[in-house]
Structure 1
Amino acid sequence: MATPMSADAFIRALKAEGLTVVEIGNWRNHNRNSKGPWGPVHGVTIHHTVTKGSARTVDLCRRGHSALPGPLCHGVITKDGKVHLVGYGRANHAGLGDPDVLRAVIDEKTLPADNEATVDGNRHFYGFECENLGDGDDPWPAAQLEAIERAAAAVCRHHGWDERSVIGHLEWQPGKVDPRGFTMTSMRQRISSRLDNGTPTTRPPKPSEPKPLPKPTKPVVDLSKLVAAARSDPAAKGTPVTYSGVRTVEAALVDAGLLSKSYSDGHFGTTTVTAYAAWQRSKAGGSYRGKNADGIPGRDSLTRLGNKYGFTVVV
Structure 2
Amino acid sequence: MAPRRGGGGSFGGFSSSSASHCSTSAFETTISRVYIAFHALFFLVFVGVFYYSTVVRKRKQRTVRAPILWISLYVSITFAVLVTALNIIFLSLSECKVFRNGEFSRANIATEWLQALADFLLFLAIMFPISQRLHHGNRTMNKVILIVHSASLSVLAALLVVALSISTKVIDDIYGHRRRRMSSSYNLDEDSRNLWVAYYVFGVVCMLIAAVTMLSALVRNLGYRRGTLFVGIPCLVVSSLALTLLQLAGYVQMAFGSWSSYALERHLEQSYEAQLFLRYFFYVCTFLGVLVVGNAAEFFADYDISSRFTQEQTEVYQR
TM-score normalised by length of structure 2: 0.31
Which of the pair is proportionally richer in helix?
2
Q: TM-score if structure 1 supplies the norm length?
A: 0.31
Bigger-Rg structure (1/2) = 2
Higher RCO, Cα 8 Å, sep 6+: 2
